[in-house]
Amino acid sequence: MLRSDVRLKALLISLCGSANQSTSCLIFGNFREMDIFGLGNPLLDITATVDDDFLNKYSLPKNSAILAEPQHEAMYEEVINKFEIEYSAGGATQNTMRYCQWVVGKNNQVTTFCGAVGNDYFGKIMEKKAKTDGVNVKYLVVEEQKNTGTCAILLTDGGQSRAMCAYLGMSYVSHNSLSQCFLHL
């Protein structure tokens, strides 16, 4: 077995929990729907190249990752209106599902992701982006006053520096609440 194959198998074992059929299916190409399942906190990534003045305005140091505070609330709308942006489905677990799906190919859907979103525009964009990447998403749409979680990924210095500011929003609900996702699988 090649070293890269060993690394991939180790990654898949860590994702699947053991060297069971799911792992061998991924290694040898005998895929089944929902072989890889993720439960996590989805965030809509909003990526933009900004200037230093924008970072300073919101007290965001370069190469930082912070949780949004009240002073950052207006930042998301401003970055969308002022800069060219790119949306992507994010959050650690959802990113892992997107990566695994990319490895096996979009046409062979083996990943499913569950998480909570708000009933809003950002939730709809995130669902569209995740599905475009081939991930079967089963979002729990929560009808409360919090919005879908977002993460502003602000690039400077020609992409060499990055500041991340995450608003967790509805992504941060209890896993007991997320058990409702399983009813729709």
Residues 6+ apart with CB under 8 A from 147: 118, 120, 122, 123, 167, 169, 170
Domain ranges (residues) in the chain: 38-183
Over its length of 185 residues, how does the chain's per-residue pLDDT go in tens digits? Answer: 444 455 555 555 555 444 444 444 444 455 565 588 888 899 999 999 999 999 999 999 999 999 999 999 899 999 999 999 999 999 999 999 999 999 888 778 889 999 999 999 999 999 999 999 999 999 988 877 778 999 999 999 999 999 999 998 887 665 556 566 655 55
The rounded distance, in Å, linking the Cα atoms of 134 and 148 is 21
Pick the CATH number of 38-183 from 3.40.50.300, 3.40.50.2300, 3.40.1190.20, 3.50.30.30: 3.40.1190.20
Whether the CB-CB separation of 135 and 101 falls below 8 Å is answered with yes
Tell how strand 43-49 and strand 85-90 pair up: antiparallel
The rounded distance, in Å, linking the Cα atoms of 142 and 46 is 21
Predicted confidence at residue 56, as pLDDT, reads 96
* Buried-state track 99-123, b at ≥16 Cβ within 10 A, e below 16: ebbeebeeeebbbbbbbbbbebebb
The rounded distance, in Å, linking the Cα atoms of 176 and 18 is 24
The rounded distance, in Å, linking the Cα atoms of 74 and 63 is 21
Q: Is the pTM of this model over 0.85?
A: no
Predicted confidence at residue 64, as pLDDT, reads 96
Helix, strand, coil shares, percent, the chain, to 5: 45, 25, 30
Predicted confidence at residue 44, as pLDDT, reads 97
The two tokens of residue 126 are 């995130």
